Structure formats: structure tokens, C-alpha cells
Chains A and B, each alone.
Chain A
Amino acid sequence: MAGKESGLRMEPFLWTLFSAGGVLAAFLIPVHLFLWGLAFPLGWLKAPGYESATALLAHPIVRIYLLLLCSLPLFHWAHRFRYTLYDGLQIKHLNEVINFCCYGGALLGTAVAGYLLWRIP
């Protein structure tokens, strides 16, 4: 029962992360995806070379920006995907596994982003 209660207390916090990630995803992902996924590979625009990409990463603000851009949208995904699995596939009885995979995935992604952004020269 203790687990259930702490789960309830976590809910507002997780919802805040979901909402913050939703805002970041809505404002920022389309432009990133358009440039890196379409405009650069199709040659419409010139992709930054290795030197200019690392030069951008030299600014700590860019690293913090990228950490947030990776982390918060993952928590947004975790929250939405969890409910999609509950309602869409009607597998609410598996909720412990689902929660572990969704929020675990978001935490793992955040850790990987943090590690890479810390280590990139």
C-alpha cells in the first residue's frame, strides 16, 4: 500500500514533467527535426560541419539546452505512452512493468544525454 500512496504523491510531479516536456517538444522539436531529418540530408540547406557543431557545443548554455531538449520530452513520452498502453491496449494490470519501462527509459535517456554532454570535448 505504501507504494501505491507514494505513487499518488508522485503523480503531480510527473505530470509537471509531462507538461514541461510537451511545451519543449511543441516549440523546439519541429525545427530540429525539419533541419536534421529533412533539410540537411536532402541538401536543401548546408549542415554544420564537425568544427561548427563542436563550436556550438562549447557554450555551456547550448549543453544545458540540449540536456533539457533530450530529457523533458522523454518524460513527456513516458507519461503519454503509459496511458496509451493502459487505455489503447487495455493492459492496465501490467502497470508496474509499464511504469518501470517508461520512466526508466526516460531516466536512462537523461543519464546518457548528461554523460555525453559532459564528456564531449
Chain B
Amino acid sequence: MKSSGGAPGYTLNHPRWYRTPVSTYWWLGQWTYLKFVLRELTSIFVAFFVVTTLLQLRALYHGPQAYADFQKWLKNPAVIALNAVSFCFVVYHTVTWFALAPRAMAVRVRGKRVPEPLIIAANYAAWLAVSGIVAWFLLGG
């Protein structure tokens, strides 16, 4: 602000915007909002999976006894229940991720856009193949 010659400065007009307050529970109002929030919450279960994987690696690092103890911990009903819920959320992540895939990368063949269902189907096929390979390794080939 510039005041010249001792003239009193003036207050700039500062509009105060009116914003309707949004409830903390805005995402419960509509099914689409709830689906969005559930999708974002899948990330918590992704992180939980990583934590259990790290615990498993730690058990392997400590030796056969720790590994056996960890397998026993995985058999705890509460842990199984938590893993079942996690599994549902992670599959929800996969489904929503594949649904967005054709929009994230528009594949073109000879200048024509590959139709969305085709890209989604390709993702599912790849998912099946990759899951099969991982299972094959873990089940001892």
C-alpha cells in the first residue's frame, strides 16, 4: 500500500467469500461419493499388506523358528478376518484401477483408438497370467 504526503491510507476492499460449510461426512450422502472414498481407502489395506510382508521378511531373516511363529500368527482368526477384508479392498482397487486404465493411457493402433472394453479385458487377462505365475513360484513350481 502506498501512502503519499501523509495522507491517511485506506483499507483495500477485501471481499469475504461465502462458502457453504461442507460436513465432514459429505461422502456418506451419495453412493458415487461413497464409492470414491472406499476406493481411496483401499490404500490403507495396500499399506497393511506391505507391513505384513515386511514382518514376514523379518521372520525369514531371524530364522526357521521365527518363520514358523509367523505362520502361526497368520492362522490367528482375527488376522485371517483382517486379511479377508483386506483382500476384498485390494480386489476393489484392482477393479477400479483397470476401469480407469483405458482413460489413463489411450492406446492407438493405426491411428484408431482401441475400444475401452478391449483394454480393460487385456488388463484382466494380464492380471490372471501374472497371478498364475506368482502362485506357480510360491507353490513350488
Docked Cα-Cα span, A50 to B79, in Å, equals 21
Q: Which residues of A contact B63 (CB under 8 A)?
A: 50
The dominant DSSP class at the A interface is helix
The dominant DSSP class at the B interface is helix
**Quick check: B61 and A33 within 8 Å, CB to CB?**
no
**Quick check: B138 and A37 within 8 Å, CB to CB?**
no
| A6 proximal to B (CB < 8 A) | no
| B75 proximal to A (CB < 8 A) | yes
Number of interface residues of A (CB under 8 A): 54
**Quick check: A25 and B93 within 8 Å, CB to CB?**
yes
Interface residue from B41, B46, B135, B139 paired with A29 (Cβ < 8 Å): B46
| A104 proximal to B (CB < 8 A) | no
Total contacts A-B at CB 8 Å: 149
**Quick check: B24 and A37 within 8 Å, CB to CB?**
no
Q: Which residues of A contact B90 (CB under 8 A)?
A: 25, 29-30, 33
Partner-A contacts on B (CB < 8 A): 22, 24, 27, 37, 40-44, 46-47, 49-54, 56-58, 60-61, 63-64, 67-68, 71, 74-75, 79-80, 83-84, 86-87, 90-91, 93-94, 97-98, 104, 126-127, 130-131, 134-135, 137-140
Partner-B contacts on A (CB < 8 A): 19, 21-23, 25-38, 40-42, 45-48, 50, 52-54, 56-57, 66, 69-70, 73-74, 76-77, 79-81, 83-84, 88-90, 105, 109, 112-113, 116-117, 119-120
A-B contact pairs, 9 of them (CB 8 A): A26-B97, A27-B127, A32-B49, A37-B87, A42-B80, A50-B64, A70-B50, A84-B37, A109-B54
